[in-house]
């Protein structure tokens, strides 16, 4: 059985690499997502995962810790901090996880739970960007530190820096 959840918050190259580096994630679609509440597209990924190997809660926790989920910065239209739910039940679970984890953060989380509407894939040349270009300056500066968070904070779910897919 495979479940899916879409998340966005930072560059989708970063987000794709993070979730491709988790055990239990079977596929990551990188691109742009819109929601019922926010018609405009924002960078995001759809994470397809095996809930027997990694929970929805853990997917959301990893997401909240690996992007600036407490900052309502000027680029939020392009990098919307969101969990895009595919059902009302999933939305309710996501809201509960965000509420539970809030106490771990010094500032209020700005991450919204939105209803998934549409997805547009990124162009082929930037898919799997990190694992095709790990030594590029962008990857070393922005993606590598986020993968270190996964390795240090979520080590039981990390696939040791190699894509799990």
**What does the pLDDT look like over 3-36, one tens digit per residue?**
999 999 989 999 999 999 999 999 999 999 999 9
Task: Report residue 1's pLDDT band, with 50, 70 and 90 as the boundaries.
Answer: confident
**What does the pLDDT look like over 103-154, one tens digit per residue?**
999 999 999 999 999 999 999 999 999 999 999 999 999 999 999 999 999 9
pLDDT at 119: 98
Task: Report residue 163's pLDDT band, with 50, 70 and 90 as the boundaries.
Answer: low
Q: Is 104 exposed, middle or buried (0-12, 13-18, 19+ CB in 10 A)?
A: exposed
pLDDT at 77: 83
- Domains, in order of start, for the chain: 3-153 (3.30.1060.10)
Position 73 pLDDT exceeds 60: yes
pTM of the model: 0.94
Would you give the DSSP letter of residue 88? H
* Distance separating alpha carbons of residues 155 and 10, to the nearest angstrom: 22
Name the packing angle between helices 56-65 and 88-101 (round to 10°).
Answer: 50
* Distance separating alpha carbons of residues 165 and 119, to the nearest angstrom: 20
């Amino acid at each position: 059985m495979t479940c899916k959840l879409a998340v966005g918050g930072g560059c989708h190259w970063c987000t794709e690499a993070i979730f491709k580096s988790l055990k239990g994630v079977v596929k990551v679609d990188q691109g742009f997502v819109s929601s019922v509440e926010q018609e405009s597209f924002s960078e995001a990924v759809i994470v397809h995962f095996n809930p027997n190997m990694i929970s929805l809660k853990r997917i959301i926790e990893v997401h909240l810790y690996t992007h600036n989920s407490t900052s309502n910065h000027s680029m939020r239209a392009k990098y919307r901090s969101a969990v895009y739910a595919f059902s009302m039940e999933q939305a309710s679970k996501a809201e509960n996880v965000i509420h539970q984890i809030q106490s771990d953060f010094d500032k209020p989380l700005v991450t919204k739970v939105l209803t998934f509407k549409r997805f547009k894939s990124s162009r082929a040349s930037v898919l799997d960007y990190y694992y095709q270009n790990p030594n590029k300056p962008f990857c070393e500066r922005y993606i590598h530190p986020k993968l270190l968070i996964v390795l240090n904070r979520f080590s039981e779910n990390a696939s040791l820096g190699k894509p799990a897919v």
